[in-house]
Homo-oligomer: A and B are copies of this chain.
Amino acid sequence: MGGIRMKNGKKIAFIGAGVMGGPMAGHLMDAGHSLTVYTRTREKAEALNQKGARWAASPAEAADGAEVIMTMVGYPKDVEEVYFGERGIFSTAGSGAVLIDFTTSSPQLAVRIAEQAESAGCSAVDAPVSGGDVGARNATLSIMCGGPEKAFSEILPLLEKVGQNIVYHGPAGSGQHVKMSNQVVIATSMIGVCEALAYAVKSGLDPELVLKSISAGAAGSWTLSNLAPRMLKGDFAPGFYIKHFLKDLRIALDESKALGLELPGVALAERMYTTLAETGSEDEGTQALYKLYL
C-alpha cells in the first residue's frame, strides 16, 4: 500500500483508473488514504503512481490486504472478470473488506457480487455515479447506492470525498436500478431534443431563438440546455460515449424484460443508438443522435 497514510486513513484498492476512476482515486489519496491501483493499461495509473499510489499487477494483488476495494471499469463483462476472474478480487479479498463497484453495470450482477461477498465474509455496495468526467474531477458526482446499510454507512465518509448527492436506495442492485432509471429518462429526452431541433431547422426557424423560447418552460431539461447547443454546432465530441450509453440501455431493457415491463421509449432509443454505433459513431458523444435526423 503506497502513499502517506494519515490517521484513520484506509487501505484502499482502486481498480480501473480511467477518466472517471482516475480523479476519484486522486481525491481519496488527497484525503489521506493509501492506494493500490490496478489498471489494464499501466500508463493510465501513472498520475496516481506519481502521487504515491502503489501499482498492482492484477485485481487480486490490488485487493490483497485492502480494507476497501473499489472498481470503476467499463462493461458488465469487465466487472465480472475483475471480481470473479482467475486473478480477480474474490481470490484475495480479506474478511471484513468492503467492495464498492462504481461501474454502471447489471443489477443482477450486483446481486451476485453481493452474495459472493457475503459468503467470503465481506460486504459489497453497488454505487454507480452520474455527473461525468467533470463531476469526477470536481468531486460532485451523484452516487446511487445499494447493499447492506451497515456497509454503506461505513464507506459514506469515503463516498463524500468523491461525490455530493449520495443516496442509499436499499439492498444489493438498488444503486444499479436507480442508475438505470436515470439513463431511461436521458434516452428519451435526447430523442425529443433531437426531434425538436430537426423540426425547427427544417421548418426554417433560427434554432438558437427556438431554444431561447422553449428552454425556460415546460420543455426545459438538462439535455436541452446542455446538449442542444452542441448538436447545433455539430460538436459530437464525447461527454458520454455512445458505446457506454448503449450498454446501459441494453441492461435497462434486459432488466425491464425480467420485470415484465415494456419500455417502448427505451427500445426506440436502443434501436437508434445501435444504428449510430453500426455506422461508426460509437466513440462519439450521446448528442450525436442528432446525426440521424440530418
Contact = CB atoms under 8 A, between A and B. Distances in A.
Interface of A: 107, 130-132, 142, 144, 165, 167, 169-170, 173-174, 177-178, 180-189, 191-200, 202-206, 209-210, 212-214, 216-224, 226, 252, 255-256, 259-261, 263-266, 268, 272, 293
B214 A182 contact: yes
A182 B202 contact: no
22 contacts: A130-B214, A165-B212, A165-B216, A167-B213, A170-B206, A177-B199, A177-B200, A178-B209, A181-B199, A184-B196, A186-B219, A187-B192, A188-B188, A188-B192, A188-B195, A189-B189, A192-B192, A199-B255, A199-B259, A202-B256, A203-B255, A265-B265
Nearest to A191: B265
B178 A200 contact: yes
A contact face: mostly helix, strand, loop, or mixed: helix
B219 A182 contact: yes
Contacts of A272: 264
A206 to B, nearest CB: 7
A265 B169 contact: no
A293 B220 CA distance: 24
A293 B261 contact: yes
Given A132-B218, A216-B165, A196 B185 contact: yes
A223 B191 CA distance: 15
A177 B195 contact: no
The 5 closest A-B pairs by CB, nearest first: A188-B192, A221-B221, A185-B219, A191-B265, A177-B203
Contacts of A195: 184-185, 188, 263, 265-266
A126 to B, nearest CB: 13
Contact of A169 (B184, B206, B263, B264): B206
Contacts of A193: 185
